[in-house]
Amino acid sequence: MTPDKRNLSGSLCPGGSLESIGIRNLRAERRPVEQPGTIPDGLLSATQQKHLLGVIKHADQMLTEIEHILDSERSSPLIARQTCDFEPPEAREIRSGIAELRAHMAAVLEQSGIKIPEPHIGGMHTIASTLDYIDIELEELRPRAMRAYGEVSPAGGKHLENTVGEIKAIVRRILSHARPGKSAL
């Protein structure tokens, strides 16, 4: 996939909404950079180009976080950080601005002679790694780890063991879909 058909953060997820997974066609939305001409070859050193790419990549990741906030009315996190306090017209304008900003950032990179790197980590690998991390974190809820926060009663210990076991079973079931053919932890 060419750089002009994805967001700069590397998401290539098919079937998602334009707003949540990036821009399908940046070239159609590109506006000229408001600097005279293009950046001539040799104007930026390799180190400066890497820094420019790093800053734009980070800005793109933050734009992706904004998109997740805009999509918060469709998701249902257990412990949400934000509330959906915006109206659909506001969300459309913000999404439109994000598309314009990404198109402009892509043009800056292009004019600076910087290629947008292709994603190098698969979505399934990322999902599996995240589930592995959750599985490991759940170990911190076992009675022996919870003793660091105070004495654990026998009934509390049994409750924690059962709860952790049940949650880990669900994580491993999901992981079996994210890593088919391979055994979970």
Question: What pLDDT, on the 0 to 100 scale, is given for residue 141?
Answer: 97
Domain boundary at 82, 111, 140, which? 111
**Segments in the chain below pLDDT 70:** 1-41, 73, 182-185
Same domain, 136 and 47: no
Please say which residue of 91, 111, 131 terminates a domain: 111
| Judgement on whether residues 98 and 129 belong to the same structural domain of the protein | no
Please report the pLDDT score of residue 131 as a whole number.
Answer: 96
Residues 66 and 135 in one domain: no
Q: What is the pLDDT of residue 32?
A: 44
User: Is there a domain that residue 116 lies in?
Assistant: no
Contacts made by residues 175-184, CB under 8 angstroms, sequence distance 24+ = 175/128, 175/131, 175/132, 175/135, 178/124, 178/127, 178/128, 178/131, 179/124, 179/128, 184/135
130 and 169 housed in the same domain: yes
Entry field: residues in the chain: 185
Residue at which a domain ends, from 111, 137, 152: 111
At residue 108, the pLDDT reads 95
Supply the mean pLDDT for the chain. Answer: 81
Assigned domain for 60 exists: yes
User: Would you state the pLDDT for residue 183?
Assistant: 56
Looking at the domain assignment, is residue 117 inside a domain? Answer: no
- One domain for residues 95 and 10: yes
Contact 67, 95 (CB under 8 A): yes
Pick from 97, 115, 123: nearest CA to 10? 123
Per the structure, the complete domain to which residue 135 belongs is given by 123-178
Q: What is the pLDDT of residue 153?
A: 97
Structural domain count of the chain: 2
Find tokens 């598309």 and name the residue. 99
What pLDDT is attached to residue 77? 79
- Same-domain pairing of 171 and 136: yes
Shared domain for 8 and 43, answered yes or no, is yes
Cα angle 129-24-49, degrees, rounded to a multiple of 5: 70
pTM, to two decimals: 0.64
Do 138 and 167 touch, CB atoms closer than 8 A? yes
Residue 127, pLDDT score? 94
Is 23 a domain residue? Answer: yes
Structural domain includes residue 93: yes
**Same domain as 67, residue 146:** no
Q: What is the pLDDT of residue 43?
A: 77
pLDDT of residue 41: 61
Per-residue pLDDT, 72: 76
Same domain, 140 and 98: no
- Residue 56 is predicted with a pLDDT of 97
Co-location of 107 and 131 in the same domain: no
